[in-house]
């Protein structure tokens, strides 16, 4: 899977906080394209907040999810306008299959920062999972309006348009764009492009 950058918000300083879980949410068979929702870390300022966040990250990476959740909740309580802790809480909820709670956290993250790429992408995946393809498309397009090269949304929108919306021309363009963003050609994606081209002919 490929990933993009996690964007933060500011109050009073701008912070970019990391989401530290890698999830693959798919309703498709293993041989078909699956959504990419893995985020990437990015640095932060405000040392006291960064330190608290790093502790929460370390707990999460050590498998101490409950303790990590407690720390993210503390961060959210102290800095409710920061989307990073909310997004992490959303990912923890997703790991527990608590999709409604996860969606609520991601919605709050987007309310804090409407340009929060990863939360928009996760909201798109959740909408796709419940069959709301129009909403999913809207979330992915909102992410791409912020960053047209945001790889998870490029990939997920291509899959949505290909498998669920029947908009093959744009899906093919997005697959090709996603492939062009890779440091090396992705053989699986090459197969998806070949398959779609055959279906279009």
Assigned domain for 123 exists: yes
Neighbours of 103 (CB within 10 A): 19
Number of domains in the chain: 1
153 within domain boundaries: no
Confidence grade of residue 115 (pLDDT, cut at 50, 70, 90): very high
Averaged confidence pLDDT in the chain: 81
Which residues form the domain of 127?
47-147
Instruction: Read off the pLDDT of residues 16-69 as tens digits, 9 standing for 90 and up.
Output: 333 333 333 333 322 334 443 333 333 454 788 888 888 887 888 899 999 999
Residue 112: which H helix or E strand, with range?
A: helix 99-112
Percent composition of the chain: helix, strand, coil (DSSP 3-state, to 5): 65, 0, 35
Greater pLDDT, 182 or 18? 182
Rounded distance between C-alpha atoms, residue 154 and residue 175, angstroms:
8
45, 57, 65, 125 from 12: Cα distances, Å: 11, 22, 29, 31
What CATH number is given to the structural domain containing 91?
Answer: 1.25.40.10
Provide φ and ψ at 14, rounded to 5°. Answer: -85, 130
Residue 32 lies in a domain: no
């Amino acid at each position: 899977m490929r990933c993009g950058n996690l964007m933060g918000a500011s109050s009073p300083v701008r912070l970019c906080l990391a989401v530290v879980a890698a999830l693959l949410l798919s309703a498709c068979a293993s041989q078909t394209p699956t959504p990419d929702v893995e985020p990437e870390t990015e640095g932060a300022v405000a040392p006291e907040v960064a330190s608290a966040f790093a502790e929460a990250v370390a707990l999460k990476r050590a498998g101490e999810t409950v303790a990590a959740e407690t720390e993210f909740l503390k961060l959210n309580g102290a800095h409710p306008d920061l989307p990073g802790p909310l997004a992490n809480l959303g990912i923890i909820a997703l790991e527990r299959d608590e999709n409604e709670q996860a969606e609520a956290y991601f919605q709050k993250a987007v309310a804090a920062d409407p340009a929060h790429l990863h939360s928009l992408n996760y909201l798109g995946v959740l909408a796709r999972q419940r069959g709301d393809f129009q909403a999913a498309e809207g979330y992915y397009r909102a992410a791409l309006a912020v960053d047209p090269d945001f790889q998870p949304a490029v990939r997920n929108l291509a899959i949505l348009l290909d498998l669920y919306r029947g908009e093959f021309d744009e899906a093919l363009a997005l697959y090709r764009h996603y492939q062009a963003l890779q440091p090396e050609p992705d053989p699986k994606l090459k197969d998806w492009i070949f398959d779609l081209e055959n279906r279009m002919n």
